[in-house]
Amino acid sequence: MIRTNLSTRPFYNERAVHALAALVAVAVLAVAAWQVVRIVSLSGLKTDLNTAIKKHKAETETRQRDAEAIRRGIDQKELAIVAAQAKEANELIEQRTFSWTQLFNLIEATLPDDVMLAAVRPEFKDAVTQINMDVQGKSTDDIQAFWDRLVKTGAFSNVLWSSTLFTDDGLNKMQMRAVYTPSQPSLQPASVKPMPPLAPPTLQAPLTPPATPKKESK
């Protein structure tokens, strides 16, 4: 048996070449198909986006025009006057609805025996209530005890003193100031109604039914 290949052109694996070509052909077809799908979807998306952009721009122009027209119709001077009046009215309502009974209940509960409250004056500014108090005690320890108890109620914060005086008869007088945030809603007479909101500034006033005062201990 002759085993020597006498051919000058040796054989190669044609099946493998065909298989490889088929594989490449399938890959090329797949990529082409993906490209076609991508072109269709991107074209659709682009059309949708362009439509949306046109729509947004048109609506933006309309809204801006309408807002301008509304603003032109507003008398700015009159608006400023109404806003100032509303602010003033709200501040008055806030003062009117302030509950002295609730404040006294709290102070009575915290006042040590040897401390006397000589004057109280609330101040209302920017929705913050500050209580100014003139107190006098037999010693600084008594006033310190009152101070600590005030803070512990949770209704008073940022307690500060502005002046203190040690009298000849041994009393310590002090002017205190604290931010007051009552936990319960304040009492309110039925005649005082809240103002509607105006932007800006915001008008607001809490409306709660009157409550009976805490039973007095003194």
Partner 1 sequence: MSIWQRAVVEKRRILLPLLIAIIANVVLYVVVVFPLGRQVASAQQEERAAREQLIRARQDYNSAKATVTGKQQADIALKKFYKDVLPPDQSVAQRLTYTRLAQLAKQANVRLEHGTNEISREKGSALSKLTTRYTLFGEYRDVRRFIYSLETAPEFLVLENIALSSNNEPQTRGVAMNLDIATYFRSGNAAD
Q: Which of residues 113-152 bind partner 1 (CB under 8 A)?
A: 116-122, 134
Q: Minimum CB separation from partner 1 for residue 80, in Å? A: 10
Q: Minimum CB separation from partner 1 for residue 128, in Å? A: 17
Residue 85 or 140 with smaller CB distance to partner 1: 85
Q: Minimum CB separation from partner 1 for residue 179, in Å? A: 18
Q: Please state, in angstroms and rounded to a whole number, the distance separating the CA atoms of residues 145 and 113.
A: 10
Considering only residues 24-63, where is the footprint of partner 1 by CB under 8 A? 24-25, 28-29, 31-32, 35, 38-39, 42-43, 45-46, 49-50, 52-53, 56-57, 59-60, 63
Interaction pattern, residues 59-88, with partner 1; x per rule: CB under 8 A? xx--xx-xx--xx-xx---xx-xxxxxx-x
Residue type, 167: T
Considering only residues 157-196, where is the footprint of partner 1 by CB under 8 A? 187, 189-193, 195-196
Q: Minimum CB separation from partner 1 for residue 202, in Å? A: 9
Q: Please state, in angstroms and rounded to a whole number, the distance separating the CA atoms of residues 83 and 41.
A: 54
At 114, phi and psi to the nearest 5? Answer: -95, 15
